[in-house]
Each structure stands twice: as C-alpha cells, then as structure tokens.
Structure 1
Amino acid sequence: MAVRLTQYAHGGGCACKIPPGELESIVAGLVKPDDDLLIGLDDGDDAAVVRLDGDRAVVATADFFTPVVDDPYTFGRVAAANAMSDVYAVGGEPLLAVNLLGWPRLTLPMDVAAEVLRGGADAAAEAGCHVAGGHSVDDPEPKYGMAVTGLADPARLLRIDAGRPGLPLSLTKPLGVGVLNTRHKATGEVFPQAVEVMTRLNRDASRAALAAGVRCATDVTGFGLLGHLFKLVRASGVSAVVDASAVPYVDGAREAARDGFISGGTRRNLDWVRPHLESDLAEEELLLLADAQTSGGLLVAGEVPGAPVIGELVEPAGAPLVVR
C-alpha cells in the first residue's frame, strides 16, 4: 500500500516547532548555573554540553518531528540527520543514539514504521553513530527522531554566544527546503534536491569549521535563517548585516514561495524577528530568509571552505539584523 506520510500530520518537519518566543518563555530559568555545564539553555544553543575532564565533554540532544516527506525511509534519514546536526552544531561527534517514535498503530501499518527506523539507522551508520533501542508511544500523528549523545573537546566548542564584530557569516547548505516540503505535502510532487540537502550530514561542515579555528556557529532549522541568526547576535552582543543576494537557495524554492507554499511556522518566524529587523526587501524575499528549514546547514561566524559568505557580524548599532 502506498502511504503519504505527510497527510497524517498537521505540519511537517521543523516547521511544526513551537514558535521561538513561546518556547523561550517556557524554558526560562529552568537551568541553574553550573561550572561543568559548558552549554545549556541560556542562549538557545543546539545541544547541552557537560565537561567530563580536561579533554572531553559529553554532548546531549533530542529532536523529533512529524513527517516532512511521504517516503518513510527518507523520513527516517532526514529526522536522524537533523537530530545529529545538533551535536555537529556545537562541534561534537555523535556517539550513541536512541530512537524516539510516535506511531498511530491502528491507522498506519507497523512495517511502515520499520522503514522509518531503517532510514534512521542508515543515517546514523553513515555518521559512525551507534543506535540502540529507544522509546515508542501510540500517537495519533506519526513522529520520529532521536536522542543523541556525543563527545566534544571542551576547548574547541562551537557556541552561539561567541560571535565577534568583523567575523564573516557563512552558510553551509542552501535555504528553501521548507517551501519545497510545503509544496510536497500539498501536491505530492517529489523534490530530490531538497531530500539531498536534508539527508546530508553536517559532519564535514562542523569539522571544517573547527579546523579553521571557528568558535561560533548554530544550525539553521525550524526558526529559519533570520530566527537563528537573531538568536546568535543576541547571545553574542553584536549585530549582523546580511547580503540577501549572496544567500543560496535550493532549485525550485523561489518558485514555490512565489506560488504561495509558505508554512505557518515560516510566517511566525518572520513575525518574531520583524521588530529587530531593518530591511527594504519584498515580503516574499524576507519569508524565504525566514523559511523553516528541516536538517538545514550550519550558520558559521567565520569562513568555511566551500560555504558562501552571506554577511558579517558588526558592532551593535540600530537594528540587530540588517538585510540588504
């Protein structure tokens, strides 16, 4: 039986995240100061990092969401790559993952769930990450992801609060998978170029950033480029200037945006950053810059081989985000 997984969920991928403003009010004050907690909730970093000793830190994260594509195996690969991205985004290497599965077992066959898990296992194998067990619940909507544990060097972390004026901003994957996924959910059209971006691990980009001496980065997922960049500049006490013409997009993304395939999550992203944004660009262009990404690339304060430079960090003055 052919199953269109996206039809069993109200949203898709990271576009179904709780809006950033609401999320921050929920988690505010949950984590107390701790010298060994090197990265926590304070600035909205991608994963938690705890010092083990002078040379090692443990990285922990969890990420799951509703189907972003119809094919179950591909959904598993995308969700696993997205979960492991949080480890890469702080400069770590994933070591062990456990599955997180919500499944409407009376609605969708369990062999479809098995294909989702197989996709996740294959993505983890590509990353050299072990997968052992996990947790499942009977859920009205299908959901899948992973809790991932990794290791990092505490002296060579990528942090969201380490940006400094004068650093270039590099983006390691093109934007636009959000509008293509929205089109896919509405029409059933398949976009291999979006799948390639979402299943590509951020491992090489993270390693390249560390090798280049970079200390500030985040990954671009559900809050869009503008949302994640705003969190970075706010945490670092700087401002950012973005050259919109330098931002790369997946083939077909502009056409999907033009045709109105904009998710509610993307619109909420733009609404959240708009009070902190200075730009005279058209609304459609700003929506693309706020497009909710699933398993997006790294936004790096520094230069990374092969990644286009899309702007720079500057001294704080006026609006935190300037887009030209």
Structure 2
Amino acid sequence: MNDYGLTVQGLTKKIGSKTIVNDVSFDVKKGEIFGLLGPNGAGKTTIIRMIVGLINRTAGKVIVNGHDLDVHFTEALNEIGAIVENPEFYGYMTGYKNLIHYKRMSQKDITDEKLQDTIKLVKLDHAVNQKVKTYSLGMRQRLGVAQAILHTPSLLILDEPTNGLDPSGIREFRDHLRMLANNGISVLVSSHLLSEMQLMCDRFAIIDKGKLIHIESMQETTNMENDLLREVTFTTNNSESASLALASKTKTGLTLEILNDTQFKATIDYQSISEINKLLVQSDIHVYEISSVKKTLEDRFMELTNSEREVSLR
C-alpha cells in the first residue's frame, strides 16, 4: 500500500545557465499537511508548477499517489487538485453553476450527490446559489477548494492560499485544510506566512535559492524538551541575590541578565531549568515563576537560512 500522496525525486529546473530549482526531493504522506517554505524567489512556485505539469522539468520525477507523471500523466493529474495563486471564477454565475461547469469538464464521473457533499464539506451551502461576484475573498477561497477537491483527488496543492484573507478567514481556511487532511487527503501548501504555517502544517521543507536545505516536523521545531538553547525568565524575591547564589554554585560560566529587582533571564537548555530552580531553592531564594520562550517556526527558519548563507559565503 502506498503511504504517500506525493513523492518528488531530484526535481530540477534550469533556464539557460541558471538553475532555478536544484535537485529537490521530498514526500508528502497521506493525511498530512506539508509546508513548502522559503523567501520570495526561492523556487517554491516553480516547484509547484512542475508538479502540476504547468512547466517542464529539466530533471527529476513526480509521483502522485503511485502514478509517475512521466508514465501515467493523465492518471497522475486526475489525483491532483490545485489552487495556484487566487482561484478564478465566472463572477456573473452562481457558485453552484461554476461548480457545474467544472463538473462537466472533469475527466472523472462526478455525481450530483458528490457535488452536494463537497459544497457542504467546505460550508458553502448557504451561499452556493449567490453570484460569485458577491462573494468575499474567504468565500471565493472555499469555492476554490470545492472545485479543487470535487473530483476526489488524493493530493491538494495550494500556492499562497491565504493571500488577502483577514484573520478570521485565515483561521477558517486552516480549519478546512485540517478537516480535509483528516479525511485522508495529502495537502502541499506553499507560503511565506510563517506564523500561519506553524499552526497549519504537520511537517515543512525550507527552500532557499532553489535548494532544499531542511525538512522537519512542526513538533520537532516547537518541542521544548530538546537540547536547543532557549531564553528562560525566572521571577524571584530578589534577582541580585539569585544571581550571586547561582554564580557561587555553578561551574559552567552561566550568564545571567538581570531584568529588574525580581526577574533575571538565562539562555539555557531544557534540562538546566530544573537544575537552576533547585539551586535557587537550596539558597533560600523564593521562585515564583519560570517562563520559557517557546521556539517558533520563524526562529527555526531564520536559524536555518542564516546558517545556509554563512556556509555559502565561506
């Protein structure tokens, strides 16, 4: 049984002597939301356009739900639903008639029951008979998702899907994607909005200057119980006394920053938090609060991309 909705192997795109995408490989599991991250111009949209067959590949393979795009082109494309940039519709027609128009063009047989189920799934049943020109951007996005999944694809590809959406629209859209993933659809999302991607994705890949530089799960990124250093603030009855007590009892050259009379900050790993707390209590220092700054996707993104740039400059 194939566990992947998408497999990309050695994807490369060259235009003349310039390499736009350089030997990119990754998998998207079934029922997973996979984020494709990178700065503008990194090659994310080029990768998506190659996957859906809008532009030719210089090298590499694309396998969609077990179908090789080079060998079974039609079968592979039938497994894909995509929104590349903003979805476009006939504004003078209702949402329902737009979907009927797409249904007639589909190479798959789409029943009326499937059409109605899809409309309910994206929660557009209250507005599907209104003209699309009256739709908000969020409603257009939902109609775009309905069109993209109407033919029951195994893979949904979205390029910057939350552009222009307000905060409530973004949250609603995120909830829809999670619902689709829970139903077994693989979702590939490209975006530069890191805070949203952190809430949306199960795993992510970072593309920088056409190269894939890192793949990681979101759980690994935000996990507090790892060896990465983080800033931890201790609230005590006396920060000066706490600093002196720790200076006399630690041998590792712990560096503290006194913030005010009762708070100090230390840059330490996860295990050291309890050790410092223990030393403070043993020194009769009252500890009222310990707060750690949780690592974000933005922190990880900057850490990895800056590291890659430093390596390239050597």
TM-score, normalising length from structure 1?
A: 0.26
**Bigger fraction of residues in strand:** 2
The structure that has the greater radius of gyration is: 2
TM-score, normalising length from structure 2?
A: 0.27
Greater length-normalized contact order (CA 8 Å, ≥ 6 residues apart) = 1
